[in-house]
Every structure is written in C-alpha cells, then in structure tokens.
Amino acid sequence: MILIPGPVNVPQSVSFATTRVVNHRSDEFREVVKSLEEKMRNHFNSNRVALLTGSGTLAVESMVFSLLKRGEKVIVFTYGEFSNRLLDSINRRGCIAKVYSKPAGEGFSLEEVKVALEENKDADAVALVHNETSTGIAFRNLGEVSKAVKGSGKKFLVDSVSGFAAYEIDVNNWRVDAVATGSQKALASVPGMGFVALSEEGINDLHDDDLPNYLNLKLALKFQDKYETPFTPSTGAFFASLRAAELLEMEGLKNRIRRHEACSSYLRSVLSKINFSLFGNESNFSNTVVAGVAPIPSKSLRDELKKRGIEISGGMGELKDKIIRIGILGVVDDRAISRLLIALSDVLKQDIEVKPPEDCKLPDFLMQEVIW
C-alpha cells in the first residue's frame, strides 16, 4: 500500500486504461482529447485546460513560461521544497522575483499576502504553491487569496499539483489566471500527464515569445482546438486520466474534497494523541499530506511500516530523515487509514482506537475498484 505524496494507488479501471496504445492522430484518440479536456474544464470551472504529456513540473513550468515574460516582477511565496522549485522556474524565466519565505512547517496568512501586495504595487504577478507536500502545509483559503491578488490587478499563477481535487478550486469565479496540476495526485490517475487550467484572463495572457515549443501552452491549445496534441502524447496516460476524470465526476468533486479533508483531519487527530509532533494547524494543514516528527526515528518507522506492506515518505532537503510524510491522496479511504493505524499500533506498541469517520469512506462503486 502506497501512502506517499504521489504517485498514488489507482482504481483498477484506471490501471487497465494505461494499456491502451492507439494512433494519436486517429478519430478514436481525438475523442479522448475532446472528452478529457471537457471533463477537466468542468472540474476546474475553467475556460480551457491544456493537456500535456509529462509530470506536474512540466505543467508548472509551462504555466510559468507561457504566462510570464522576461523582466516581469513576480511576488513568490515560498514555504517548502516545491515552492522553492516554483521560484527556481520563475528565476529561470528571467523574471524579477520578490520572495517572501517561511520556515519549514509554517504557512502564510491572508493578511501577510495583503501586506506583500501593498509593498509591491508595481508587481506584475503573484505565484504560489497551493499545497506544499514537503511540509504538509497549504493555502486553505485560496479563494480569498485570489480575490486579494486579482483585486490588486496582478496575474495569479497557482501550482496546485497536489491540491486539485482535494480542495475547492474555482478558476473562473475566482479569476485565477492559471492553475497547474498533475495526473498522479488527487485525480487518482497514473503518472504521465500535466494539466494547466486557464481562465479567460489567463488565455489572454498567453504568449509564445522566447520559449521552447514543449512549454508553449498557446501551441498546445491550438492543437486541442482540433482535438489533437502538438507532439506524440502518452496515449495510455490520456486514457487513464480520462477514466480517472470520469470516476471523479461519478464520486462528485465536493464529495472527494470532503473525503480528503475528513481522512486528513482524523489521521492528524490520532497521530497527535500518540506523540507525533505535526506541522500545521487548523488554518493551514494539508488535506493530502500529514507531515511531522514521529516518536521514533523517521527511517526506523518507515522501515517497520514497509515490513508490514505500507510505504510512507521521509522528509525532503533539510528535513531528510527528520520527519515523516503520509500521503492521503486520490482514493485513500477509511480502510487504508485503518490499516495504517493498526500497523502503527504494532510498531509503536501503543493501543490506538481505530474509527475513521463516515466521510472518509469511498462510495460503493469506487470501493469495489480499490483493494488495500
């Protein structure tokens, strides 16, 4: 059982769909492209969604290079490894970054965002990571943040690689210019696809000056207008992601978000009672990753869980071997959480009451596709 921040366990029908290899210029594949963008637009409530063969990082860099220009001033909020990667992409784009940073395990308040906007009235854009899986911290109030950013007249770029489908994201109503995500996270598909959702303002901000073709969202959308991709895609990942988008539609986006939050809140509550020192609080905890210091060394805990068939992650960068990270993305449910807690009870020699909430359960049709 994989309980890491991605890739994730996937439903059986999603796994089966990865075996599909077809002519990517065929009518059959054009229908896949058409249907996948349509479903992802609905899930994001966006005008368009660029469908990219690659990782979440490709989606983020395509967003950065296609919506920002050299010399533009960008406010960047960093609070972990992935927000630092976003900053690196912005620097490589040749932008002028105004950086606001937090130590590992801390997040930003809405007031701090507003102060940054006030201090940088001349900035062209704001960029941030929605959900930081390296520390289990998130912007839980993205809609309010977007209102503040767009109210200041700036472009707003969001890396939600590990946030999409685990939190509410309303691209059009919140006027977010662009949101990037990946297939192998809360969508519960296989690795291999990146998505960039765009509002009308975001589409108007797209340019194709001075950037590689593979990062050119304008080119991607031009081909999607005829239900194709500009380059040879990973056909199996497209078929799998279409199936995952269908299952998300069947479960209901609000229900999936509720399940993620219920599972993460419950797991945080239990771990806090058995001497885990967790990052985050009620205002900024992640719905998809529980992170913090374990009561025994990180590597020892991970090794013991692996002996019991459960894989969790350690820390990244300066937090390597200092913390544990438990991923609860995609189709993680009460059964997976229960199995984890029973294993922890054995490893730590502690009695743990195991009673996940009803909202942590998968719907019956999806439960039959997921074996833990």
CATH of the domain at 344: 3.90.1150.10
CATH of the domain at 247: 3.40.640.10
Q: Is residue 264 part of a domain?
A: yes
Same domain, 19 and 126: yes
Q: What is the pLDDT of residue 97?
A: 98
Tens digits of per-residue pLDDT, 337-356? 999 999 999 999 999 999 99
Same domain, 234 and 268: no
Please check whether residue 169 is in contact with residue 44, taking contact to mean a CB–CB distance below 8 angstroms.
Answer: yes
Q: Is residue 237 part of a domain?
A: yes
Tens digits of per-residue pLDDT, 120-166? 999 999 999 999 999 999 999 999 999 999 999 999 999 999 999 99
Same domain, 138 and 167: yes
Same domain, 138 and 190: yes
Tens digits of per-residue pLDDT, 175-228? 999 999 999 999 999 999 999 999 999 999 999 989 999 999 999 999 999 999
Q: What is the pLDDT of residue 149?
A: 98
Same domain, 267 and 340: yes
Same domain, 193 and 300: no
Same domain, 247 and 258: no
Same domain, 168 and 224: yes
Same domain, 217 and 328: no
Q: Last residue of some domain: 251, 280, 300?
A: 251
Q: Is residue 372 part of a domain?
A: no
Same domain, 243 and 344: no
Please check whether residue 101 is in contact with residue 75, taking contact to mean a CB–CB distance below 8 angstroms.
Answer: no
- The pTM (predicted TM-score) of the whole model is 0.97
pLDDT range class, residue 233, cuts 50, 70, 90: very high
- Grouping H, G, I as helix, E, B as strand and the rest as coil, residue 48 is strand
Q: What is the mean pLDDT of the chain?
A: 98
Total structural domains within the chain: 2
Cis amide prior to 7 (ω within 30 degrees): yes
Using alpha carbons, select from 82, 2, 3 the residue that is nearest to residue 326: 3
Q: What is the pLDDT of residue 259?
A: 98
Strands 178-182 and 155-159: parallel
Please check whether residue 164 is in contact with residue 131, taking contact to mean a CB–CB distance below 8 angstroms.
Answer: no
Q: What is the pLDDT of residue 304?
A: 98
* Range(s) of the domain holding residue 74: 13-251
Q: Last residue of some domain: 251, 276, 305?
A: 251
Tokens linked to 179: 């949101």
Tens digits of per-residue pLDDT, 241-291? 999 999 999 999 999 999 999 999 999 999 999 999 999 999 999 999 999
Strands 48-53 and 96-101: unpaired
Same domain, 234 and 96: yes
Same domain, 245 and 125: yes
Q: Is residue 8 part of a domain?
A: no
* CA–CA distance, 340 with 327 (Å, rounded to integer): 11
Q: Is residue 6 part of a domain?
A: no
Tens digits of per-residue pLDDT, 81-113? 999 999 999 999 999 999 999 999 999 999 999
**Residue holding tokens 């912005």?**
90
Q: Is residue 294 part of a domain?
A: yes
**Percent of the chain topping pLDDT 70:** 100
Q: Is residue 119 part of a domain?
A: yes
Q: Last residue of some domain: 251, 285, 311?
A: 251
Q: Is residue 5 part of a domain?
A: no
